[in-house]
Amino acid sequence: MSKMIMGKKLGMTQIFAQDGTLIPVTVIEAGPCTVLRVKNKEIDGYNAVVAGFGDIRERLISKPVRGQFMKAKLPVKRYIKEISFEGSEGWRSGHVIKADVFESGDMVDVSGLTKGKGFAGTIKRWNTHRGPESHGSGYHRGVGSMGGHTSPGRVFKTKKLPGRLGAERVTIQNLKVVKVDVEHNLILIKGAIPGPKGALLRIKSSIKGKK
């Protein structure tokens, strides 16, 4: 069954399994997500729900976004995203998606934006080698050769050059849900997850893994 929920990364910690094994986990505040609108195959061509997540003051969002919540007669939320969810045909505006959609042992895919690191050189960005460090060399952290002399006479598109590093959408597949705390809307997932603390995440059923 395809399930999905939005969440906020709170950080990493570690817990002990029943057999004493130490498990590193990422703690995610998953939901509650409030459904604004339900999409169906007959009208929209696919099944999904438009949901809001995260509290925010009403004056801090734009009027068009605020209008969606006014139409649904719901309090405003910080984020609005489409969530694919099987079995949502009978849902209505106002339905709440909580962390209990997942349970311990589920395999999930988690998507998020990696940490933005600004402009970076080739050594940090592409892990290239330094230039000669001996006396007399004035070329230590350069980009290296830019190509041939006369032929092809240009720089190839695949040349590793300095540029912006990070702030890319990354999906980590086949992560295991270790624990679900329904009371506090927390999901503990084994391993690391992209993004800084407070980053918005999408947690969905794994397309490869099995429970």
What is the secondary structure of 68-89 as a DSSP string?
Answer: HHHHHT----SEEEEE--TT-T
**Half-sphere exposure of residue 143, counting CA atoms within 13 Å on the CB side?**
13
How far, in Å, CA of 50 to CA of 39, rounded? 8
Q: How confident is the model at residue 209 (pLDDT cuts 50, 70, 90)?
A: low
Short-list 23, 32, 175, CA closest to 101: 32
Instruction: Confirm if 71 and 49 have CB atoms less than 8 A apart.
Output: no
Tokens of 184: 């506090």
Under the banding of pLDDT at 50, 70 and 90, the label for residue 99 is confident
pLDDT at 1: 54
- Quote the Cα angle for 44-50-54, to 5°: 170
Q: What's this model's pTM, rounded to 2 decimal places?
A: 0.79
Residue with the two structure tokens 């719901």: 74
**Residue extent(s) of CATH 2.40.30.10 domains in the chain:** 4-117+171-205
Nearest-10 Cα torsion for 201, 197, 190, 24: 180
**What is the CATH number assigned to the segment(s) 4-117+171-205?**
2.40.30.10
Give the mean pLDDT of the chain: 87
Average confidence (pLDDT) over 14-27? 91
CB contact at 8 A, 93 and 74:
yes
